[in-house]
């Protein structure tokens, strides 16, 4: 587990990046044989992405409950799309299996949202936290001086973009 960084920090990145929110909802919990394979597909993809940084995956974090959420960071939309459509990677077979097994029956829901983020178009702060979310993939700097408040972080980010 990453160490807690005491104080206030902000994460920066000079290049554009993509935030990809993906997840699933277990609509019929008793049908483990339906949602189990969907749930187990993501760890395979994450292992593959972790082993091949050239694919453009920067990192991510996930939360579990009836609705599962994963927030991922990618170098670009093009890298994300390329991975999603590649026949020689784990995603496309998992997507095809989902579509064949449960896509239309309502037992398992899936979703995603994709956001392109330009340098200077975001701000963040982490106080007494381990590197979390974008803070785990961006460059952390102390949130003081030009980075003290949200308005200052937005202004500084736009100035250096």
Task: Work out the average pLDDT over 44-58.
Answer: 95
6 near 137, Cβ under 8 Å? no
160 near 13, Cβ under 8 Å? no
Residues 75 and 145 in one domain: no
Residue range of the domain that includes 140: 5-13+118-160
108 near 24, Cβ under 8 Å? yes
Residues 102 and 149 in one domain: no
Enter the pTM of the model: 0.90
Residues 55 and 106 in one domain: yes
Residues 106 and 125 in one domain: no
Domains identified in the chain, total number: 2
Which stretch, 38-42, 98-102, 154-158, has highest mean pLDDT? 38-42
CA atoms within 13 A on the CB side of 41: 19
Question: Regarding predicted confidence, which is higher, 154 or 86?
Answer: 86
Dihedral, CA atoms, 132, 136, 141, 147, nearest 10 degrees?
-50
Residues 9 and 51 in one domain: no
Residues 107 and 124 in one domain: no
Q: Report how far residue 51's alpha carbon sits from residue 31's, in angstroms, rounded to the nearest whole number.
A: 32
Q: What is the pLDDT of residue 35?
A: 85
């Amino acid at each position: 587990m990453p160490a807690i960084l005491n104080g206030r920090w902000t994460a920066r990145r000079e290049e554009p990046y993509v935030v990809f929110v993906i997840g699933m909802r277990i609509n019929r919990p008793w049908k483990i044989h339906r949602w189990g394979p969907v749930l187990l597909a993501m760890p395979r993809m994450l292992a593959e992405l972790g082993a091949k940084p050239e694919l453009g995956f920067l990192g991510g974090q996930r939360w579990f409950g009836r609705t599962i959420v994963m927030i991922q960071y990618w170098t670009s939309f093009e890298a994300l799309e390329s991975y999603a459509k590649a026949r020689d990677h784990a995603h496309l077979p998992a997507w095809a299996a989902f579509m064949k097994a449960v896509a239309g029956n309502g037992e398992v829901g899936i979703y995603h949202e994709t956001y392109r983020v330009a340098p200077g178009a975001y701000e963040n702060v982490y106080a007494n936290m381990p590197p979390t979310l974008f803070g785990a993939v961006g460059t952390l700097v102390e949130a003081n001086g030009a980075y003290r408040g949200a308005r200052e972080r937005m202004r500084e980010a736009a100035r250096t973009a």
